[in-house]
């Protein structure tokens, strides 16, 4: 992304809000909080993160939102209602995509449904093919669990883009935790740490005795620490 010198707008992510209006399905807000319609139905960029069940204070009180972070001509955050069809369609699509696909540009699209409904479809901008999802049995889906699963895959995959950890393209969400532990094995071997040294460090830093007890965020922190240590 080209950096323009001189005066300009404050370099912060641009929020895009999903809403079914008369002739558009998403919009931005001006500085005086007026809606700026977006008539284009597609946004293409690289997904860099996602937050599900994010608590946001609105004029209607505290509500849960889904925020999708995407880097295009500038950073954008697509915000949708946590229980909306857009958010659910987004999660279903992202769950299907592989880590390798998530490292490539993707096209997020909106299409109007009945009354207040907005549907989300993700396309591959190279092949023009959509990511086909099935809504069969969607009423029985544990959306909280699916949101956590997708969030883990995307947010860890973002670290792979930054080359903090090496995540194989074919890895599944269930294997990500094991992949991170395997990364620590490599660095621990290089440092010649014994099991006892490792246990003492984990207990002092995280209050835990085993790497299997660490969260993914803690494992990433552990990897960053190990990478900075001088090799024996």
pLDDT tens readout for residues 80-115: 999 999 999 999 999 999 877 888 899 999 999 998
Tell whether 23 and 101 lie within a shared domain: yes
Please tell me whether the overall predicted TM-score, pTM, comes out greater than 0.85 for this model: no
* pLDDT cut 70: percent of the chain above it: 90
**Residues β-bridged to residue 106:** 45
Tell whether 152 and 212 lie within a shared domain: no
Tell whether 223 and 152 lie within a shared domain: no
Tell whether 152 and 177 lie within a shared domain: no
Tell whether 222 and 195 lie within a shared domain: yes
In sequence order, which residues have a C-beta less than 8 Å from that of residue 24 and are 6 or more positions away?
A: 37, 38, 39
State the pairing for strand pair 106-112/75-81: unpaired
> What DSSP element (H or E) covers 150?
helix 143-161
Residue 158, pLDDT > 90, answer: no
Q: Of 213, 188, 189, whose CA–CA distance to 203 is shortest? A: 213
Domain around 23? 14-161
Residue 171, pLDDT > 80, answer: no
Residue ending a domain, among 116, 136, 161, is 161
State the pairing for strand pair 14-18/26-29: antiparallel
The rounded distance, in Å, linking the Cα atoms of 153 and 171 is: 10
**What are residue 19's phi and psi, to 5 degrees?**
-160, 135
pLDDT band of residue 8 (cuts 50, 70, 90) is confident
State the pairing for strand pair 14-18/75-81: parallel
Residue 5 inside a domain? The answer is no
Q: What is the pLDDT of residue 64?
A: 94
Q: What is the pLDDT of residue 172?
A: 52
Residue 2 inside a domain? The answer is no
Mean pLDDT, residues 158-176 taken together: 55
Mean pLDDT, residues 46-73 taken together: 90
Tell whether 130 and 33 lie within a shared domain: yes
- SS3 state of residue 68: strand
Residue 154, pLDDT > 80, answer: yes
CA dihedral 226, 188, 209, 194 (to 10 degrees): -130
- SS3 state of residue 56: strand
What is the domain count for the chain? 2
Q: What is the pLDDT of residue 27?
A: 97
Q: What is the pLDDT of residue 167?
A: 54
């Amino acid at each position: 992304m080209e950096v323009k010198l001189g005066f300009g707008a404050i370099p912060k992510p641009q929020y895009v809000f999903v809403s079914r209006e008369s002739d558009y399905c998403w919009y931005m807000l001006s500085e005086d909080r007026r809606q700026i319609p977006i008539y284009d139905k597609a946004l293409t960029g690289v997904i860099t993160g996602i937050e599900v069940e994010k608590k946001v204070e609105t004029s209607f009180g505290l509500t849960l939102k889904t925020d999708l972070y995407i880097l295009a001509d500038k950073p954008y955050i697509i915000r949708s209602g946590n229980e909306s069809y857009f958010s659910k369609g987004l999660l279903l699509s992202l769950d299907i995509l592989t880590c390798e696909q998530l490292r490539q540009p993707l096209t997020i699209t909106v299409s109007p449904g009945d009354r207040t409904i907005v549907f989300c479809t993700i396309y591959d901008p190279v092949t023009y093919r959509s990511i086909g999802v099935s809504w069969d049995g969607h009423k029985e889906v544990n959306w909280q669990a699916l949101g956590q699963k997708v969030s883990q895959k995307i947010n860890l995959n973002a670290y792979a883009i930054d080359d903090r950890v090496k995540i194989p393209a074919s890895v599944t969400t269930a294997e990500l935790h094991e992949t991170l532990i395997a990364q620590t094995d490599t660095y621990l071997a290089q440092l010649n740490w014994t099991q006892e040294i490792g246990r003492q460090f984990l207990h002092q830093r995280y209050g835990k005795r085993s790497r299997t007890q660490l969260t993914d965020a803690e494992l990433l922190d552990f990897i960053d620490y190990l990478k900075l240590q001088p090799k024996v």
